[in-house]
Amino acid sequence: MKRFAALFTRLDQTTRTNLKVAALADYFREAADADRVWTIALLSGRRPKRTVTTTLLRRWAAEQAGIPLWLFEESYPIVGDLAETIALILPPPEAVSDAPLTHWISQIGALASLPEEERRARVLDAWSRLEPTERFVFNKLITGGFRMGVSQKLMTRALSQATGIEESDLAHRLMGDWRPGETSFEALILAPDPSADLSKPYPFYLAYQLDGTPDALGAPGAWFAERKWDGIRGQLVLRGGACFVWSRGEELITDRFPEFAPLADALPAGTVIDGEILAWKEEAPMAFAALQKRLGRKTVPAKLLADAPAILYAYDLLEEGGTDIRALPFAERRARLERLVGNAVRDTDLPLRLSPEVPFADWDALATERARARALAAEGVMLKRRDSPYRDGRRKGDWWKWKVDPLSIDAVLIYAQQGHGRRANLFTDFTFGVWSGNQLVPFTKAYSGLTDAEFRKITAWVRKNTLERYGPVRHVTPHHVFEIGFEGIQKSPRHKSGVALRFPRMLRWRHDKPLQEANSLADLEAILAAYGGKTT
Amino acid sequence: MSALLTFTDDGIYCPEGDFYIDPWRPVDRALITHGHADHARDGMRRYLATDLAAPVMRHRLGEISLETLRYGERREIGGVTVSFHPAGHVPGSAQIRVERGGEVWVASGDYKLEDDGLSTPFEPVPCHAFITESTFGLPVFKWRPQAEIAEAMNAWWRGNAAEGRASIIGVYALGKAQRLMRMLDPSIGPILTHGAIENTNAVLRAQGIALPPTLRVTPDLVARDHPGAMVLATPSALGTHWPRRFGPAQTALASGWMGLRGVRRRRAADRGFIISDHADWAALNTAIAATGAERVFVTHGYTSIFSRWLSEQGYDAAIVQTAYEGESLDDPDPATGEEAEKAQGTQSPAAAP
Ligand SMILES: [Zn+2]
Ligand SMILES: [Zn+2]
């Protein structure tokens, strides 16, 4: 596993994309065949099954390290990663091993059928023969949570560099139901694949965030507006009787949305649609959380498919009758899209809808529409110049997103907890309260939104202003006021304050605000009354 | 009779001798373990420290009334005897031993056990009560021998130099920077230093501590005149535009915190070298055992976890609240002069309207 651990170290030691890709490409040129296939599998989310519970691993690691289990358990949240905690805590290895990655993966696989004592013996044996980084990798594999900070997209690019095969071709080869133990590098990657061209997507055109108001954009009549929906951007490619779905990261995600397959029959071949994938029920978008459940998995169980069915909300038409029409003006593409979708979607069982136009007479009217976004579970409005072509990448000028402002409230910092993992030495996890009479009622936690310098500053302050400690939590002197931003609010009997926020974060540190002027529970309840019914 | 040392809102206090150890509020008489800013603060009427710590303290604190003792030299203060013993943390750092009628307490400030080739190595001081830090008081912290880190650092430098890139490491200006300088292989290339570090170098050189030749980075320094340089900067300078002048470069941080992958990643430096001037888990336990102390007071760091561990090992252990800060990855030591302070000043968030 030395070569694989060295790859892991190289990837881990740089934040630069091109260096990561270079490291992977080197690995794909040099590594043994079976290891290459396993690496591709791991980096495309095909992880080995978990064969030992983490409870057992923790116990064995603590025993082996000669420390009580509580001490292991206290260390774990500070390190932030179980595999790493185990790797760090164990005594140094007694021997070395030259066995390849594939060997250790099959060892892990074999554990499933063994009695606990035998499993323990094998895991301890592995730990005693692996260097710390190898151990970390081994632990990641055994706990089934392996991630290397490299997306499938980057892996595909590296593979392309190493083999000279085009990226979209490789992406196509890597989809589907192949298993690393049952295929070879030759069969998976190198053998010719005639259908690859069919799946090829177009580069996505991305909008810029509009700062301020759209007044500077000129005459409203030159612009088309629609909602900015809160799902994931996707491209539906229908060619040769097959259906392919690409994410904005240009990952092929067809397998995750099996309900789109019938579109290959319902629409003419040679059709490519840009749109938003949304979880959809009763002709309305569901909360993003519903869609998120779908994204986490390679295959979709039937229950999830029924609970959170997906549709494509169509924005744009990029290919029609097999012809690339991106150079046509948006208004023309949109007209063709309306015809196409309109014809197909008489049958509402099909997972395809047209993202409706938001008509507006002037910019003030559009501002009013934008303000309604939250109530419609949208994120704001999109503006597209009617005569613009479909460009690629993020370019200024023709497309703008105008997001709705977050809700916000001024709250007092009352509890602080040390961060873990990336922020183990700073206080970054805060609980905030609002006034109820002369008491502060905790109502939300927030972790992000401050600069590193601000986190350092508040950390030094927390150390000197701790009133009490409860385990890792410190109750601090109420003093600092922060503006907390959030995207939605909901009633929640489980919380002391009676509300739960969506995406809370610190917008700014209100040095200017005295403690007494922070908002009250009544203010929070007023926001709940205004917005609580509609968002999730 | 009161305890030999007590813990007050102003610092560690000896009632019998009427003095404080590393106080954080102005007092009449302060005994100082070492020159780091969280231990040696200004505003004390009289200071007492080791002769080796004195130059840095004067550099940082200006005109102070400072008396010095050599390691091991004894001094009667009130009814107690005090002496300073090597803590191995930074040059001149000390554990302070306080004795009254055969009862001995030791306040160790910050310490490490490995001989870093720069600081006088740690010596265990037998005592009844020991005051210890716990910055890295978790069993996940294990340092590798210094020679191994030196090898990795030089290999990294050599590789960068070969590819025409500068190597920039963010380090503490007092102690860590000089320790690294002595680990570097000067045959690879020139060593350039941030002004804050070079100021400290000058103080240490003047007191006879040998350091390899270094070149201060000034605004008119031309980076291409020094290809393949190793640049030592304060951690705060790394986060600014300061490193840009060196053109293509790789960055690294050198700290015990680099032992945690998550911290390494958050910092977005290209490399992390795991090296600390504080004791790791094993060294903390070794040091405490070597004192023979029954009572242990745990100051800054993972205090609650470490004191619980010590209690289970049979010590009478307790947590003490102090204003000491352990190894901060981010803050430059304010000991380090104007530039670092300026950098800090600009980081404070502007008050919002
Ligand atoms: Zn120190
Ligand atoms: Zn300290």
How high does pLDDT run on average in chain B?
89
pLDDT band at A284 (very low <50, low <70, confident <90, very high): confident
Give residue B349's Cα distance to chain centre.
27
Alpha-carbon gap, residue B243 to B270, rounded angstroms: 13
CATH-assigned architecture of domain A2-142: Orthogonal Bundle (1.10)
Alpha-carbon gap, residue A404 to A376, rounded angstroms: 12
pLDDT tens-place string over residues B29-82: 999 999 999 999 999 999 999 999 999 999 999 999 999 999 999 999 999 999
DSSP labels, A298-331: SS--HHHHHHS-EEEEEEEEEEETTEE-TTS-HH
Q: Which residues of B touch A75 (CB under 8 A)?
A: 138-140, 305
Place of tokens 């960068």: B160
pLDDT tens-place string over residues B109-155: 999 999 999 999 999 999 999 999 999 999 999 999 999 999 999 99
* Residues written for chain B: 353
Contact check, Cβ <8 Å, B260/A424? yes
Cα–Cα distance list, B252 to A406, A426, A456, B141 (Å): 37, 20, 19, 19
The CATH number of A205-403 is which of 3.30.470.30, 3.40.50.880, 1.10.240.10, 3.30.565.10?
3.30.470.30
Contact check, Cβ <8 Å, B351/A81? no
Output the CA angle B273-B277-B281, nearest 5 degrees: 85
Least reliable range by pLDDT among A25-39, A320-334, B253-267: B253-267
Q: Which residues of A touch B266 (CB under 8 A)?
A: 421-423
Interface ipTM: 0.90
Tell me, yes or no, if A466 comes closer than 8 A to chain B by beta carbon. Answer: yes
* Residues written for chain A: 536
Give residue B111's Cα distance to chain centre.
8
pLDDT recorded at residue B334: 36
Contact check, Cβ <8 Å, A456/B331? yes
Domain ranges of chain A: 2-142, 205-403, 407-531
Query: Which of A9, A79, A131 is the best substitution to test chain B (most B C-beta atoms within 10 A)?
Result: A79
**Helix, strand or coil for residue A132?**
helix
Count helices and strands in chain A by DSSP H and E runs: 19, 22
Contact check, Cβ <8 Å, B140/A78? yes
- Give residue B164's region: left, alpha or beta (phi > 0; psi -120 to 50): left
Cβ atoms of B31 and B21 closer than 8 Å = yes
Strand runs (DSSP E) across A419-493, as ranges?
Answer: 427-436, 439-446, 466-470, 473-476, 481-486, 488-491
Strand partners, A433: A412, A442
Q: Classify domain A407-531 by CATH number.
A: 2.40.50.140
Tell me, yes or no, if B342 comes closer than 8 A to chain A by beta carbon. Answer: no
Which ligand is located closest to the Cα atom of residue B175? 1
pLDDT tens-place string over residues A473-501: 788 999 999 999 988 787 877 777 888 88
pLDDT tens-place string over residues B214-234: 999 998 888 889 999 999 998
pLDDT recorded at residue B346: 27
Alpha-carbon gap, residue A193 to A200, rounded angstroms: 13
Shortest distance between the Cα of B262 and any Cα of chain A, in A, equals 4
Contact check, Cβ <8 Å, A454/B257? no
pLDDT recorded at residue A501: 87
Tell me, yes or no, if A422 comes closer than 8 A to chain B by beta carbon. Answer: yes
Instruction: Please give the distance, rounded to the nearest whole angstrom, from the Cα atom of residue B329 to the centre of ligand 1.
Output: 12
Cβ atoms of B269 and B253 closer than 8 Å = yes
> What is the pTM for the complete model shown?
0.71
**Domains of chain B, each with CATH number or no CATH:** 6-141+277-351 (3.60.15.10), 146-273 (3.40.50.10710)
Which is nearest to A426 in space by CA: A467, A470, A457, A471?
A: A457
Q: Which helix (H) or strand (E) covers residue B83, if one does?
A: strand B80-86
pLDDT higher than 90, residue A295: no
pLDDT tens-place string over residues B82-99: 999 999 999 999 999 999
Instruction: Please give the distance, rounded to the nearest whole angstrom, from the Cα atom of residue B257 to the centre of ligand 1.
Output: 15
* DSSP letter assigned to residue B255: S
Tell me, yes or no, if B140 comes closer than 8 A to chain A by beta carbon. Answer: yes
pLDDT higher than 70, residue B167: yes
Tell me, yes or no, if A517 comes closer than 8 A to chain B by beta carbon. Answer: no
